[in-house]
């Protein structure tokens, strides 16, 4: 799957996050452990009922400043986040006269819950007031692919438009899918985004999935810690522009890094040791496809979100492969929150941050009772300098239901 003659590179980045709308804002938040957690009590209703759950919502972002007023009235929040991040990524990658032809510009989005809010409103309105009282203007918003749909119209992306819903893997899987599109020449450039929004009904799903803390709300979101009481939900969008190295170099684009290989596996048994085997297979796939040895990995950006037993499975997998190496590991979800479909893109954005700044952010809330696995000695509660030139970063992720994904990124 890997074409060594013409690798796939990142030439644009954009983000809409709780910490701001520039990659530097996210990198600062990670490095300096900014605390974006607030109580989500304003989302409480008859469906979402857990009081004092902390989350990391986006506050005080005005989409009109970036997107203009036109068309926003009926656009769902997820679409606004995605469109905002994508427009910033497009501006980062191309000047107006460099934009690829619509037939060569593809779009891939990782997202899971974009349509939930509208489908709830439509169905509730139908049974309480009648079907003629739903808004036809919002009809497409109940589908998971609506953010990608709005974005494609805005940026005139015609080569392809695919939404992927593989839980927390969706962002990494979207990147893998986009790599395949580019390698098979189905597009010359692909905009890859991840997006998720917080609302009462998404939190209702998280609550019923047992992902949120019950009473012990202050101990949530502690990565790789068996005492962590659940996830800290987040929202937002991160977007990367991908193209072939030859295209990028021909137009003199800034290259942030290179995507090397993608892998995906599933465990039919959700016990941590079996889930660990699946993640190990995903990691082995990306190593085999890249031709790299495991000792050539310089940094791991894990998906640990403070939810057991997923974190235990991830730690076990990493330990089984990398325990003999003193390999730095970092996590991002304790600061950025668990953003599900956007998480993989936030991990990629974080990887670019490390490559750009040469600094590995700390893993916050790291406590002494962290699992006693050798590999986790690679976590640090303080930031570290790390020269990344030409080095490889491994991103890992797991879905609630047993699938796992991995992605290799290389610094230029």
Partner 1 sequence: MNKRVVITGIGVLTPVGSGKEKFWSAISEGRIGTSRIEGFDTSMFEVHNGGEVRDVDPSSYMRLLDPLAAPRTTQLAVAAAKMAIEDAAFHSEEYLTERSGVCIGTTIGNGSIIEQDHDRRQKQGTKLPPDYIRNFPISYISAAVATELGFEGPNLTVPTACAAGNYAISWGADLIKDGMADIVLVGGSDALSRFCYTTFHRLGAIAPDRCQPFDKNRKGMMVSEGAAVLVLEEQEKASKRGARIYAEFLGYGLSCDAHHPTAPHPDGLGAILATERALSDANVKAEDVSYVSAHGTGTKANDSTESKALRKIFGELIDSIPVSSLKSMLGHTMGAASAIEAAACALSIYNSIIPPTINYEVPDEECVQNIVPNEPMFSRVEVAVSSSFAFGGNISIIVLGRIDK
Q: Which of residues 93-122 bind partner 1 (CB under 8 A)?
A: 102-103, 106-107, 112-113, 116, 119-120, 122
Query: Which residues in the 182-211 window bind partner 1 by CB under 8 A?
Result: 184, 186, 201, 204-205, 207-210
Cα–Cα separations (whole angstroms), residue 144 to 79, 117, 406: 10, 10, 23
Nearer to partner 1, 4 or 128 (CB): 128
Q: Let me know: does 369 contact 227? Beta carbons within 8 Å.
A: yes
**Minimum CB separation from partner 1 for residue 128, in Å?**
8
Residue nearer to partner 1 on the CB measure, 150 or 224: 150
Instruction: Pick out residues in 233-262 that bind partner 1 (CB under 8 A).
Output: none
- CA–CA gap between residue 195 and residue 301 (Å, rounded): 19
* Residue selected from 403, 406, 407, 410 as contacting partner 1 according to rule CB under 8 A: 403
- Of 85, 93, 164, 329, which lies in the binding site for partner 1, with binding defined by CB under 8 A? 164
Rule CB under 8 A: is residue 4 a binding residue for partner 1? no
Is position 290 an interface residue for partner 1 (rule: CB under 8 A)? no
Judged by beta carbon, residue 27 or residue 122, the one nearer partner 1 is 122
* Region class of 52: left (phi > 0), else alpha (psi between -120 and 50), else beta: left
Which of 44, 72, 99, 143 binds partner 1 (CB under 8 A)? It is 143
b/e map 1-37, b = 16+ CB within 10 Å: ebeeeebbbbbbbbbbbbbbbbbeebbbbbbebbebb
Bridge partners, residue 225, by sequence: none
Strands 384-385 and 392-398: unpaired
| 215 versus 266: smaller Cβ distance to partner 1 | 266
Q: How far apart are CA 118 and CA 141, in angstroms?
A: 6
CB of 12 to partner 1, least distance (A): 19
Residues in 120-139 at the binding interface with partner 1, rule: CB under 8 A: 120, 122-124, 126-128, 130-132, 134-136, 139
Instruction: Give min distance, CB of 389 to partner 1, in A.
Output: 29
Q: Which of 156, 251, 254, 271 binds partner 1 (CB under 8 A)?
A: 156
CB of 111 to partner 1, least distance (A): 8
Which residue's entry shows tokens 């910033």?
A: 88
- Please identify, using beta-carbon distances, which residue of 285 and 310 lies nearer to partner 1: 285
Among 37, 56, 399, 409, binds partner 1 (CB under 8 A): 399
Residues 6 or more apart whose Cβ sits within 8 Å of residue 144: 111, 112, 113, 114, 115, 163, 165
Whether the upstream peptide bond of residue 334 has omega within 30° of 0, thus cis, is no
């Amino acid at each position: 799957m890997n074409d060594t003659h013409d690798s796939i590179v990142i030439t644009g980045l954009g983000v809409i996050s709780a910490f701001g709308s520039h990659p530097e804002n996210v990198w600062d938040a990670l490095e300096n452990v900014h605390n974006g957690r607030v109580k989500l009590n304003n989302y409480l209703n008859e469906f979402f009922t857990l009081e004092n759950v902390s989350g990391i919502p986006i506050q005080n972002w005005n989409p009109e400043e970036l997107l203009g007023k036109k068309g926003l009235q009926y656009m769902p929040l997820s679409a606004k986040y995605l469109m905002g991040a994508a427009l910033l990524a497009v501006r980062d990658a191309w000047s107006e006269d460099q934009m690829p032809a619509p037939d060569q510009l593809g779009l891939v989005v990782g997202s899971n819950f974009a349509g939930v809010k509208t489908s709830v409103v439509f169905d509730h309105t139908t049974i309480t007031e009648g079907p003629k009282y739903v808004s036809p203007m919002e009809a497409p918003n109940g589908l998971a692919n609506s953010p990608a749909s709005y974005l494609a119209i805005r940026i005139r992306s015609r080569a392809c438009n695919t939404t992927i819903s593989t839980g927390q893997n969706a962002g990494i899987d979207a990147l893998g899918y986009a790599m395949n599109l580019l390698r098979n020449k189905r597009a010359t450039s692909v905009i890859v985004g991840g997006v998720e929004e917080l609302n009462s009904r998404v939190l209702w799903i998280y609550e019923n999935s047992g992902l949120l803390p019950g009473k012990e709300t202050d101990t949530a979101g502690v990565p790789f810690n068996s005492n962590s009481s659940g996830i800290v939900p987040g929202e937002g969008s991160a977007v990367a522009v991908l193209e072939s190295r030859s295209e990028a170099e021909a137009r003199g684009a800034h290259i942030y890094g290179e995507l090397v290989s993608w892998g995906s596996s599933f465990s039919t048994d959700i016990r941590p040791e079996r889930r660990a085997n699946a993640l190990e297979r995903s990691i082995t796939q990306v190593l085999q496809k890249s031709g790299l040895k495991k000792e050539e990995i310089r940094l791991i950006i894990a998906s640990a979100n403070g939810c057991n037993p997923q974190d235990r499975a991830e730690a076990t997998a990493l330990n089984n492969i990398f325990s003999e190496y003193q390999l730095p590991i970092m996590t991002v979800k304790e600061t950025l929150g668990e953003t599900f479909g956007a998480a993989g893109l936030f991990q990629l954005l974080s990887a670019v941050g490390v490559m750009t700044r040469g600094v590995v952010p700390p893993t916050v809330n790291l406590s002494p009772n962290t699992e006693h696995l050798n590999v986790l000695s690679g976590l640090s509660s303080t930031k570290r300098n790390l020269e990344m030139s030409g080095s490889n970063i491994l991103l890992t992720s797991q879905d609630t239901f047993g699938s796992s994904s991995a992605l290799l990124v290389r610094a230029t």
